Amino acid sequence: MIEPIKFFTGKFNISISDIESLLGVALSRGGDYADLYFEYAALNSLILEEQIIKSANRAARLGVGVRVISGEKTGYAYCDEIDVAAIRKAALTAAHIAQSGSGDGPINVSLVSPAHDLYPVAQLIDDEPLPRKIELLERIDRTSRAFDRRICEAQVSLADEFKVVLIATSEGKLIGDAQPLARMRVMCIADDDGNLQSGVSGGGGRVGMDFFSDEMLDYYANEAARQAIVQLEAQDAPAGSMEVVLGPGWPGVLLHEAVGHGLEADFNRKGMSAFSGLIGQKVASELCTVVDDGVMPNRRGSLNIDDEGNPTSQTVLIENGVLRGYLQDKLSSRLTGASLTGNGRRESYRHMPMPRMTNTYLLNGASDRDEIIRSVKRGLYAVQFGGGQVDITNGKFVFNATEAYLIEDGKVTAPVKGATLIGNGPDALTKVTAVANDLSLDEGVGTCGKDGQSVPVGVGLPTIKISEMTVGGTK
């Protein structure tokens, strides 16, 4: 496995003493804290469409971000190369945020290893020969088309990356990580005499080539095809407020939107979140315990260290309905005195870190899925979702069901068309009246956007019942 420090000092003309003097430059005008984020990433994508490999793409992304914190102020600059002179220039630019005086010269750092080793990978997908990757896509295409003669098209893509990072802080820490990430995606289109419908599936994580077994590929292929076929029969979705049952896995995007973003420390420190000042108060039914867990092996949202070099962890956000804590980054933790949670993340060296989720899920309850469905007289059973969005300040959030069914007299009946569900974060979870014992995480395809930065995340949920939620159908 790659040693980040050897990787950067070996591949580029830079040494630990250069890093120490660059940290000194970053604090040359004063400032409370500085860090350097070295990144080298290889990003590959492969696209199959109309039964042929249409494009193979590769990008190399490398550079260094320099951050200087002075009180509540942050100065940031970066360079698109790993070169001492260019980093020095960025450090001087970032240093300007502080005006309190002069620095003390180089800052000694010592190398430490991450506490976790969550994604050891035997065989990096990045090292895999292209023909082998192509076989995976072709298998999915064949399997999808074989699912039903009405599947007229499959679009399959594999995106994989391998990122090596090295973080040096003015607190004297030098720490690195090597982070694999891969995502397979398939979209099928079904055509039944001009009635066109689509279905999407896929998965991945911080995994190697062995993750994409034939069984896994066939599962993605059949799942996307199945969803498209189900949609051929879909009726108009209902409109109005009703009982909603969410299936396990990806519907956990509910937590991500309803409470996750609202619990990020930056919004709360500034009093901008609908959850500001609610620690210790009841924000969910006692059936709900929500955690953000950055230390799950091989998960898409997991990290050995966050993008500020701090250990990731499992953070309890809501315990038996009571709000316990926020997701912290370095800046918020410095300003509020809260303990770090290892949630300082960034998209790349071009971006400042901020508090972000990792894998966010609700713990199992005691109910049984079938029992929950039997208890609903008229409602919606939603099992697959697209994206969601939240207004942090008023708490209103939406998420879009892409596969859902009516529940009538305790039975799952007709499939319905996609619809948006809307709710209010601080009270949505107070309406959770049953939690089943079938927790699962999503397949590993989630990407979260905040302030223009995208980072990979995971979500999870057991089957739950919400007593009342507005469903945005047309009927």
Partner 1 sequence: MITTDLLSDIVKQAIKRGATDAEAVGVESTEFHVEVRLGEVEKLQEAASRGVGLRVLYQGRQASISTSDTSPQAIDELISSAVEMAKLTSVDEAAALPARDELARETADLGLYDPDVGELTTDRKIEMARSAEEAARGADPRIANSEGSACSTAVRNAILVTSAGFTGEYQSTTCALTVAPIAKEGAQMQVAAWGDRQCALASLDPPETLGREAARRALRKLNARKVTTREAPVVFESSAAEELLDDFFVAVDGYSIFRRASFLLGRLGETIAAPGLTVIDDGRMRCRLGSRPFDGEGLATRRTVVVENGVLKNYLLNTYTARKLGLRSTANATRALTGAPAVGFGNFFIAPGVYQADEIIASVKNGFYVTEMIGFGFNAVTGDFSRGASGWWIEDGKLAFPVEEVTIAGNFRDILRGIEMIGDDLRFRGRSAAPTIKIDRMMVSGE
- Chain residues 152-191 in contact with partner 1, contact rule CB under 8 A: 152-153, 155, 189, 191
Task: Lay out the site mask for partner 1 across 67-106 (x = CB under 8 A, - = otherwise).
Answer: -----xxxxxxxxxx--------x--x--xx---------
| Residue 132 DSSP symbol | H
> Which amino acid would we find at residue 213?
S
Q: Which neighbouring-strand residues pair with 164?
A: 40, 178
- Name every residue whose Cβ is closer than 8 Å to that of residue 439 and which is 6 or more positions away in sequence: 248, 361, 362, 363, 364, 460, 461, 462
Closest approach of Cβ 179 to partner 1, in Å? 19
By beta-carbon proximity to partner 1, the closer residue of 148 and 319 is: 148
Closest approach of Cβ 224 to partner 1, in Å? 13
Structure-token pair, residue 297? 């092996």
Look at phi and psi of residue 397 and say left if phi exceeds 0, alpha if psi is from -120 to 50, else beta. Answer: beta
By beta-carbon proximity to partner 1, the closer residue of 130 and 146 is: 130
Window 322 to 361, contacts with partner 1 (CB under 8 A) = 350, 352
Q: Return the CA Rg of the chain.
A: 24
Closest approach of Cβ 82 to partner 1, in Å? 9
Task: Lay out the site mask for partner 1 across 222-241 (x = CB under 8 A, - = otherwise).
Answer: ---------------x-xxx
Q: Which neighbouring-strand residues pair with 35?
A: 67, 169
| Residue 282 DSSP symbol | B
Closest approach of Cβ 419 to partner 1, in Å? 5
Closest CA to 156 of 217, 210, 216, 215: 217
Distances (CA, A) of 31 to 22, 74, 354: 14, 9, 19
Phi, then psi, of 444 in degrees rounded to 5: 105, 50
By beta-carbon proximity to partner 1, the closer residue of 310 and 348 is: 348
Window 189 to 208, contacts with partner 1 (CB under 8 A) = 189, 191, 196-198
Structure-token pair, residue 150? 């009405």
392 binds partner 1 (CB under 8 A): yes
Phi, then psi, of 398 in degrees rounded to 5: -130, 155
Q: Rounded to whole angstroms, how far apart are CA atoms 350 and 353?
A: 10
Window 235 to 294, contacts with partner 1 (CB under 8 A) = 237, 239-241, 270-272, 274
Distances (CA, A) of 355 to 130, 186, 338: 36, 31, 13
The helix or strand, by DSSP H or E, that contains position 466, with its residue range, turns out to be strand 464-472
466 binds partner 1 (CB under 8 A): no
Closest approach of Cβ 38 to partner 1, in Å? 14
Q: Which stretch binds partner 1 (CB under 8 A): 13-21, 208-216, 217-225, 388-396?
A: 388-396
419 binds partner 1 (CB under 8 A): yes
Closest approach of Cβ 316 to partner 1, in Å? 25
On whether the CB atoms of residues 429 and 283 are closer than 8 A, the answer is yes
Q: Which of 58, 149, 374, 377 binds partner 1 (CB under 8 A)?
A: 58
Phi, then psi, of 70 in degrees rounded to 5: -135, 105
Q: Which of 100, 108, 336, 389 binds partner 1 (CB under 8 A)?
A: 389
By beta-carbon proximity to partner 1, the closer residue of 155 and 222 is: 155
Closest approach of Cβ 120 to partner 1, in Å? 27
Window 295 to 314, contacts with partner 1 (CB under 8 A) = none
Q: Which stretch binds partner 1 (CB under 8 A): 16-24, 49-57, 171-179, 321-329?
A: 49-57
403 binds partner 1 (CB under 8 A): no
User: How far is Cα of residue 316 from the mean position of the Cα atoms in its chain?
Assistant: 17
Residues contacting partner 1: total by CB under 8 A: 77
By beta-carbon proximity to partner 1, the closer residue of 81 and 171 is: 81
The helix or strand, by DSSP H or E, that contains position 356, with its residue range, turns out to be none
Q: Which stretch binds partner 1 (CB under 8 A): 25-33, 150-158, 168-176, 317-325?
A: 150-158
Q: Rounded to whole angstroms, how far apart are CA atoms 364 and 255?
A: 14
Window 112 to 131, contacts with partner 1 (CB under 8 A) = 130-131
Window 128 to 147, contacts with partner 1 (CB under 8 A) = 130-131, 134
Q: Which stretch binds partner 1 (CB under 8 A): 360-368, 389-397, 403-411, 431-439?
A: 389-397
Q: Is 365 exposed, middle or buried (0-12, 13-18, 19+ CB in 10 A)?
A: buried
Packing angle, helices 214-232 and 130-147, rounded to 10 = 40
Closest approach of Cβ 375 to partner 1, in Å? 22
